[in-house]
Copies of this chain bind each other. A is one copy, B any other.
Amino acid sequence: MKIGVIGGGQLGRMLSLAGTPLGMNFAFLDPAPDACAQALGEHIRADYADQDHLRQLAEEVDLVTFEFESVPAETVAFLSQFVPVYPSAEALRIARDRWFEKSMFKDLGIPTPAFADIQSQADLDAAAASIGLPAVLKTRTLGYDGKGQKVLRAASDVAGAFAELGSVPCILEGFVPFTGEVSLVAVRARDGETRFYPLVHNTHDNGILRLSIASSGHPLQALAEDYVGRVLDKLDYVGVLAFEFFEVDGGLKANEIAPRVHNSGHWTIEGAECSQFENHLRAVAGLPLGSTAKVGESAMLNFIGEVPPVAEVLAIADCHLHHYGKAFKAGRKVGHATLRSADLPTLKARIAEVEALIGKC
């Protein structure tokens, strides 16, 4: 079976590492000449709107999936004429737009911060007054890793903020005094079977995920599964989906979904029986899902900007390196380490060891 992937970055790379042992081959459509997945599959170097190359991809593969959600709707619609596409165009339409996404949460009874659609500075002024400050202004589409957003703390931040984000459709979200950020990675098969990984505690730096720690017996696991299950069923979703929540007053408020394998699920490569990458491929290929159970205690640390010296990373016990083969650049995710330890105190000691290496970078 040959799988087409829109995007050829590290997620595509890890999909191929998981799928090749299942007998799958991969083709990645990505305009970047140095797309790092190309070491592990065919690279169709083309723009995401290039219909000739989309057609070529569709003809070569058995199905198409995505590495990122900001794929133009036209690309998905075009491909869907020729080849099965998972997740569906509808799932991508919702997930790529914060307004559609938050509105869906509301319709499904999933708590979420107060939010308002912002099409102008006047909309923003009105919403800031009704929602109150602090609040976060975010572009409806194309935001990631803290990009395309601005925290509004005082009236002076509100003035001109719509233009600062490019005068594009935005959403204003009430600031949530959260005690923690967690995500739930789930997978849903073509037949509707759904499995959930354990909730993961996430720590961000400047909007970029830095550390994820997989939980055991988290008191909010069942609640999170209920919320995520509602979304998966609503979208008749196929594949892996990640759902980020704020922990607020012992409950959860929905932040956002990612209709794809997700950075907060990278720990599953070593830390779960079957990784998010393999489970995504099993789901889209119509194969039985794998176990989402944990193997030991597990955490993931991102390498941002550069990977510490490989020999030093590998010298840390319980440590598994994932080097993406990308050029080093400030703010860029270029690798991660998964730690898998027998118990939590050991895991925490190992996290400190990796953090010390990152600090030396």
Interface, chain A (partner B; CB < 8 A): 13, 17, 20-23, 25, 39-41, 273, 282, 286-288, 290-291, 295-296, 307, 310-311, 314-315, 317-318, 320-323, 325, 335, 340
The listed residue (B21, B296, B315) touching A17 by CB distance below 8 A is: B21
Q: Is the CB of B290 within 8 A of A22?
A: no
**Which residues on the B side are within 8 Å of A295 (C-beta)?**
295-296
- How far is it, in angstroms, between the C-alpha of A323 and the C-alpha of B340 when the chains are bound? 26
**Which residues on the B side are within 8 Å of A287 (C-beta)?**
310-311, 314
- Closest residue of B by beta carbon distance from A312: B288
- How far is it, in angstroms, between the C-alpha of A340 and the C-alpha of B287 when the chains are bound? 20
* Between-chain CB contacts (< 8 Å), 23 pairs: A13-B20, A17-B20, A20-B39, A21-B320, A21-B321, A21-B323, A22-B321, A22-B323, A23-B307, A23-B321, A23-B323, A23-B335, A25-B39, A25-B325, A39-B40, A39-B41, A40-B40, A273-B340, A287-B311, A291-B317, A291-B318, A295-B295, A295-B296
A321 to chain B, nearest CB (A): 6
A189 to chain B, nearest CB (A): 11
**Which residues on the B side are within 8 Å of A335 (C-beta)?**
23
The listed residue (B23, B273, B307, B314) touching A325 by CB distance below 8 A is: B23
- How far is it, in angstroms, between the C-alpha of A290 and the C-alpha of B291 when the chains are bound? 26
Protomer copies:
2
- How far is it, in angstroms, between the C-alpha of A21 and the C-alpha of B275 when the chains are bound? 15
Task: Choose among A13, A323, A340 the residue with the greatest number of B CB atoms under 10 Å from its CB.
Answer: A323
**Which residues on the B side are within 8 Å of A20 (C-beta)?**
13, 17, 39-40, 325
Q: Is the CB of B318 within 8 A of A273?
A: yes
**Which residues on the B side are within 8 Å of A39 (C-beta)?**
20, 25, 40-41
Listed from nearest, the 6 A-B pairs whose CB atoms lie closest are A23-B323, A288-B315, A21-B322, A288-B314, A287-B314, A287-B311
**Which residues on the B side are within 8 Å of A323 (C-beta)?**
21-23
- Closest residue of B by beta carbon distance from A23: B323
- How far is it, in angstroms, between the C-alpha of A325 and the C-alpha of B21 when the chains are bound? 8
**Which residues on the B side are within 8 Å of A13 (C-beta)?**
20
**Which residues on the B side are within 8 Å of A307 (C-beta)?**
23
A78 to chain B, nearest CB (A): 27
- How far is it, in angstroms, between the C-alpha of A265 and the C-alpha of B323 when the chains are bound? 24
- Closest residue of B by beta carbon distance from A311: B287
**Which residues on the B side are within 8 Å of A315 (C-beta)?**
288
Q: Contacts A13-B20, A20-B40, A288-B315 known; list 13 others, CB within 8 Å.
A: A17-B17, A21-B322, A22-B314, A22-B321, A23-B323, A23-B325, A273-B318, A286-B311, A287-B314, A288-B314, A291-B317, A295-B295, A295-B296
**Which residues on the B side are within 8 Å of A22 (C-beta)?**
310, 314, 321, 323
Task: Choose among A282, A287, A317 the residue with the greatest number of B CB atoms under 10 Å from its CB.
Answer: A287
Task: Choose among A22, A287, A335 the residue with the greatest number of B CB atoms under 10 Å from its CB.
Answer: A22
- How far is it, in angstroms, between the C-alpha of A15 and the C-alpha of B163 when the chains are bound? 52
A9 to chain B, nearest CB (A): 14
